[in-house]
Amino acid sequence: MKSLLSTALRRLSGEYTDPYTGVDYNVGFSIEHYELDLVYRVMPNLLSGEAKLHIRTVEDLDKLTLDLGGAMATRRLSANKHIKITRFRQSGGKIRITFDEVIEAGEEFILTVRYGGNPRPIRTTWGEIGWEETEAGALVASQPNGAPSWFPCDDTPGEKATYDIRVTADDPFTVISNGTLVSKKNRNSTTEWHYRVDSPMATYLATIQVGEFSKFQLGRNTTAWAPSHLRARVMEEFKQQQEMLDFFESLFGDYPFPDYQVVITEDELEIPLEAQGLSIFGSNHIMGNHRFERLIAHELAHQWFGNSVGIAEWKDIWLNEGFACYCEWLWVEHKGSETAHDLARSHYLVLSRKDEDLLLADPGARDMFDDRVYKRGAIAIHALRRALGDEAFFTAVRNYLHQARNSTVAPKDFFGHMDDAALEAGVALDEIARLSDAWLNHTPLPKFPA
């Protein structure tokens, strides 16, 4: 699912390193499907596996690179068809593979990587990210570049693939992953869990949650997994989960995946974490008083904004976080507590007291998760809603999500739909251009959308 345009632009510009993560791009090929067959021993935190990567070359190449953290040691590499591997080495978070002859563009083959080790998070600008051992199992939260902590991949947000994820773990531990549970096979003192992801997924959204969980049905297509003793708190905290999902469907179109799951860990977490088709909360987020209801709305909204429709470059993260933050306000508005306009005004006043040195269109790695990105992005979206009116605005957002489903976008794709809505609503295109320029491309805080 590699963007041929983005690959070509990188070659023309000489840009081979992601300016946000600092990791070199893997160019010349696309991974269409991942088959991960893993064995996880919980107590020694030992992971061994075989990853079959279904690769399609997009240009002639005689070598390629993959991302894999240093805690995972590559033990053997092989390929099918006529393709032979001359040598490989692993260093600096990369597997570097050389073939005995040039593989022509358009070739499809399967590269099998056998690997293992004691998985641990990857140290990044934003702290340690990826596979994390917990008190009673493990969790994976990989945004933005922690996926190589547990499997070999092409770890960049613009790359999406389908997945088969098989994990064999000790009993009585439950394994939860993305997608649909295809099978569950008991084998002596272990169980194999097989999940299939048919909707293309970015690597940072792939996850595994291992723990002693019980399953609680929250509604028609939403469930919770949590330690059994937390049941009462879970059912209270998430009792509006189905209503919330139905409300977002009324605004944005059908929920983009088979179902939605929340996982509540025994451990406390600093913030909830998103993955495709599920979200992860700590036990500290379910106090039974709905204190974190806005975060429940935020993580659910990411299933449309960020997961189904992803971004190709991290500099555009406001498209994910701005919309997820705005959905918090829409949910409050739906409940009748406050209007989104009032909430936008309150946060605007907070922003006005902060440094105005952040460029929303390209905040930089240090500030990509700054709260100003979230709030300024949300208010920019609100400004568009005010300019277009509700009917034109929400119709345009639905069209944007429908057209970009299962793919990645840039801001121009979103603003193209805003322009179409402006034409339908009789709003000058210059007004949309003025708003987008002021909020995205300049650091001073624009005038509040009255």
Confidence of residue 450 (pLDDT cuts 50, 70, 90): confident
Mean predicted confidence (pLDDT) in 387-411:
98
Confidence of residue 15 (pLDDT cuts 50, 70, 90): low
- For domain 1-210, the CATH class is mainly beta
**What pLDDT, in 10s, does the model give residues 250-275?**
999 999 999 999 999 999 999 999 99
* 1-210 and 309-440: identical CATH topology: no
With a cut of 70, say whether residue 10 has pLDDT above it: no
Mean predicted confidence (pLDDT) in 84-88:
97
The rounded distance, in Å, linking the Cα atoms of 440 and 361 is: 5
Which residues 6+ apart lie within 8 Å of 24 measured at CB?
A: 16, 17, 18, 65, 94
Mean predicted confidence (pLDDT) in 186-205:
97
Q: What are the sequence ranges of the domains in the chain?
A: 1-210, 213-303, 309-440
The rounded distance, in Å, linking the Cα atoms of 125 and 132 is: 17
Q: Which of 283, 323, 331 is nearest to 306 (CA)?
A: 323
Instruction: Fill in the DSSP letter of residue 24.
Output: B
With a cut of 60, say whether residue 54 has pLDDT above it: yes
The rounded distance, in Å, linking the Cα atoms of 317 and 445 is: 19
The rounded distance, in Å, linking the Cα atoms of 420 and 394 is: 12
With a cut of 50, say whether residue 24 has pLDDT above it: yes
| Cβ count within 10 A of residue 232 | 10
**What pLDDT, in 10s, does the model give residues 277-330?**
999 999 999 998 999 999 999 999 999 999 999 999 999 999 999 999 999 999
With a cut of 90, say whether residue 9 has pLDDT above it: no
Give the lowest-confidence range in 2-11, 64-73, 170-179, 184-193. Answer: 2-11
- For domain 213-303, the CATH class is alpha beta
Please, what is the Cα angle at 438 between 351 and 422, to 5 degrees?
115
Confidence of residue 150 (pLDDT cuts 50, 70, 90): very high
- For domain 309-440, the CATH class is mainly alpha
The rounded distance, in Å, linking the Cα atoms of 232 and 82 is: 58
Mean pLDDT for the chain overall: 95
Per-residue confidence (pLDDT) for residue 5, from 0 to 100: 44
